[in-house]
Amino acid sequence: MTSVQGTVVDIPTEDGVADAYLTHPAEGGPHPAVLLYMDAFGLRPRLEAMADRLAAAGYTVVVPNVFYRARRAPVLDLPEFIDAAARPAVFEALGPIMAQLTPEAAMRDAGAYLRWLESCPAAADGPVAVTGYCMGAGLSLRTAGTYPDRVAAAAGFHGGRLATEAPDSPHLVAGQVTAELYFGHADDDPSLPPEQIERLEKALTEAGVRHRCEVYPGAGHGFTQSDTDAYDRAGDERHWEALLDLLNRTF
């Protein structure tokens, strides 16, 4: 297996400095870049391990702490394993932090992350790929629509609220997307009910976006996160196959 080199970096933004985890193959390079958006539980060992797995496949990966306005990672003192008993307290603490990250602020930050990758010696020239988890899936879609000249592929897994009736719903950027998209939806996910899945599919199809949206049977919201009780091994491995297929097609 390819050895990787990971480190913490600081990314200047219009609103401050975002700490991030950067990882890439230890030898060779530069490598195609991937911007990985965290879930709500934040930048932590599980996401670093996921980034390292992508790096071992030949990519330079950066995982920003999108909650940097609150504090550097870890933003919360999380338990080693997040189960149903821990969730209420965690989300109570996360509420005001998540509220700070408006779509406008998130996309200002996305521009900063992409500019930083342009000057990163470990990242190859040219467009990047984006992937995101839970809330990060929406950020992935928004980034593809906001910066179409910089994003060649974007993926999202167990995303929530991707196609609501709100005037700033993520799916409304479909008309600006030029990247190839892939979404792996959780099965029976209250944050992404069937009507939102249909609305997302319709918007992407009508906009002529190259895309595939799949529901993973039996996999609940958060199925890629092995440090939570939502983890589903089969769904996680299917996600890796789909993501690496997308990246291989793109780069």
What domains does the chain contain, in order, with CATH numbers? 4-250 (3.40.50.1820)
Report phi then psi at 228, rounded to 5: -130, 165
What integer pLDDT is reported at residue 54 of this predicted model? 98
What H or E segment, with its residue span, contains residue 22?
Answer: strand 16-25
Catalytic position from the list 171, 185, 211, 221:
221
189 catalytic, yes or no? yes
Structural tokens at position 20: 């991030």
Catalytic position from the list 134, 158, 211, 236:
134
120 catalytic, yes or no? no
Q: pLDDT tens digits, residue range 14-63?
A: 999 999 999 999 999 899 999 999 999 999 999 999 999 999 999 999 99
For 29-92, strand residue ranges (E) read 33-37, 60-64
- Calculate the alpha carbon distances from 21 to 73, 141, 150, 225, 238 in Å: 10, 21, 20, 17, 24
Catalytic position from the list 19, 39, 109, 189:
189
| Averaged pLDDT, groups of 10, the chain, 251 residues long | 94 98 96 98 98 98 98 95 95 94 98 98 98 98 98 98 98 98 97 98 98 97 98 98 98 97
What integer pLDDT is reported at residue 45 of this predicted model? 97
Q: What is the pTM of this model?
A: 0.98
Three-state secondary-structure class, residue 192: coil
